[in-house]
Structure 1
């Protein structure tokens, strides 16, 4: 039986690196904080950032938690939407509701 290779998107690696630098964490420290063994953490994070490998969804959630970003941010291929996700994640619940209300009003204008 022929094996099919999974295509790795560079988006995850780019977003991971962006979030890691934003958090001011070196690769090895991020890996350890997310649960990797210290001896392999830097290499594993480097492979994720370089789009050599993509982590399982469960580990991507751990990385996002450590980095303080929504996991969807790590997979978002639209730069503006990714920026909105980062802004949203740091807002209070009141601010989030206001953003949603504004978004709906803007969307209604386009109908």
Structure 2
């Protein structure tokens, strides 16, 4: 069974969290003003998928890690977003804490 592309949903959530319009985001990442809203709408509706370089610019503008767009579940996406704001030291500490609790397999 093929999974649904998570990018449209993640993009819309991140943009709404940033409280900016589709057009504003498009312009901020370098799209022409006349086509920014339409192109962003196509990305959010899943009609077109942005390439990685466009996703990188969106991630930077929306203050989320690039990997956020690819998370299959909401909980993983939220963890990814939160961890993206942490320092490397904080992430390493969290990894150690979680690894210590990980069941042996």
Kindly report the root-mean-square deviation, in angstroms, between the aligned alpha carbons of the 2 structures.
1.8
| Structure 1 residues 1-111: aligned runs within 5 Å | 9-107=4-102, 109-111=103-105
Which segments of structure 1 move beyond 2 Å, counting only runs of 4 or more? none
User: What is the deviation of 1:101?
Assistant: 0.7
CA contact (8 A) 1:31 1:45 kept: yes
TM-score by length of structure 1 reads: 0.85
User: What is the deviation of 1:95?
Assistant: 1.5
Q: Which runs of 5+ in 2 are unaligned?
A: none
CA contact (8 A) 1:27 1:42 kept: yes
User: What is the deviation of 1:93?
Assistant: 2.6
92-101 vs 21-30, which moves further: 92-101
Paired residues, what number? 104
Q: Which runs of 5+ in 1 are unaligned?
A: 1-6
